Structure 1
């Protein structure tokens, strides 16, 4: 897909978890609009393949739970691009809940928080001096509707809710340095995490989403490009739902009332 907008000419960007799914779509969108993008991903081979397929993209292995690797990735981006203007915190970890809370392990709980929340902190900490120096710095954190409502996954949901809070506090801290910080909360997105489950996604789209479908990675990439660009130059500390209306509209409540009234009338 090509885009008429070229909002990121001369920009340098770093996308964590950029090798596939939402991260890959974000990388493609920013690069298509003129940015040079560093994919920082734990899967070195997948990052390399994705970068080879996108003009203006490069890749580096990066574990966001390792401060040294995060700082090395940021330094590499600055060296290669001469600037770092956009940071997209997209690294992902989501552990399955144990059947009972008392069976949940510390290890899985800590893993989700370390990747999703503390990983974003590590990346922002390393990148902030460069983002401030650019004069147009922007951080976009990829959250989830799990931060706002119960869709399961205790640790992942807590991490995403914490990320929303960090987005607000970092926005306040970074504003004086000219850096904007915002978050996107996606609903269900068709990624490899749902591989082989197309019937489930179709049922979710029809039954849960007012717009009649689940999201595509490109839906999130478009929102990231907006928040990272000068078009959002007076937006900071915001959380933008990109969820097909999932949280705004309760499709089941009116149907339950209608069914109950129909049964009572019969």
Structure 2
């Protein structure tokens, strides 16, 4: 393992997809990592002595507190918190059919889960550091899924609020808003995620490494004067549909 003075990152949702890619990216940069997840299929990650594993359920306050306290106990410090845990756990496609339970479940996972992790982490980030959160382009525009999208939109404002509050502590807070990324969420859906590539000016969907690279940058010294921002990492989708104009049926006035 690296020397005890090397920085430490706690990555939530580390067992799969973006979280797993983020663990690998931080390790490539020499950062020690606590890989935390409710479903931590990460034997290959923990074969690296610079990675320790921990169980974490972001919807359970006791689990969050135990995991983050354990990070400091096991690795001696906490410099970076990277919140990738979240997702759309399923709700009716129409707003009028969505119940209070649908809203509670998705807001709890995608918004309150981040709040819990940050609230537990900040008092332990005694040397400053950086917090990077995974939001979504769903939080920036009408891509569908009202409860999930509203929770992700809440993260945009939360990022600004906490960047202002924690800046004097030397803690930076930023958000990455991915577009479509090739993760296991597509495993149970018909077709390939590549069918979504038409929505993206760069002509492809994202890979977990694309998001991990942005998260690592926002936690790095290269981003030392960046805080409170939402960074879309979406292949240009947020620029609008101009790239589709030549593919749409021609209509005359």
1:144-192 CA-to-partner distances (Å, cap 9, x unmatched) read 0000111111111011000111011000000011000000000000011
Unaligned runs of 5+ in 2: none
Query: Structure 2 vs 1, CA of residues 177 and 144 (structure 1 numbering), >3 Å: closer, same or farther?
Result: same
**What CA distance in whole angstroms lies between the structure 2 residues aligned with 1:209 and 1:93?**
21
Of 102, 112, 116, the match for 2:106: 112
Residues 134-173 of structure 1: pairs in structure 2 closer than 5 A:
134-135=127-128, 137-173=129-165
Query: Structure 2 vs 1, CA of residues 197 and 212 (structure 1 numbering), >3 Å: closer, same or farther?
Result: farther
Larger Rg belongs to: 1
- Deviation larger for 112-121 or 93-102: 93-102
> Does 2:17 align with 1:16?
no
Q: Which residue of structure 2 aligns with residue 94 of structure 1? A: 88
Of 236, 243, 249, the match for 1:245: 236
Q: Calculate the TM-score normalised by the size of structure 2.
A: 0.92
Determine helix, strand or coil for the equivalent of 1:91. coil
> What is the root-mean-square deviation in Å for CA atoms of aligned residues?
2.1
Q: Calculate the TM-score normalised by the size of structure 1.
A: 0.88
- Following superposition, the deviation at residue 252 of structure 1 comes to 6.0
Q: Which residue of structure 2 aligns with residue 51 of structure 1? A: 45
**What CA distance in whole angstroms lies between the structure 2 residues aligned with 1:100 and 1:249?**
24
Runs of 4+ in 1 over 6 A off after TM superposition: none
Q: Which residue of structure 1 aligns with residue 195 of structure 2? A: 203
2:201–2:243 Cα contact (<8 Å) kept: no
Residues 178-197 of structure 1: pairs in structure 2 closer than 5 A:
178-195=170-187
Q: Report how many residues are paired.
A: 250
- The structure with the greater share of residues assigned to helix is 1
Query: Structure 2 vs 1, CA of residues 94 and 73 (structure 1 numbering), >3 Å: closer, same or farther?
Result: same
1:65–1:114 Cα contact (<8 Å) kept: yes
- Following superposition, the deviation at residue 90 of structure 1 comes to 1.1
> Does 2:25 align with 1:32?
no
1:144–1:187 Cα contact (<8 Å) kept: yes
Residues 212-231 of structure 1: pairs in structure 2 closer than 5 A:
212-231=203-222
Q: Which residue of structure 1 aligns with residue 115 of structure 2? A: 121
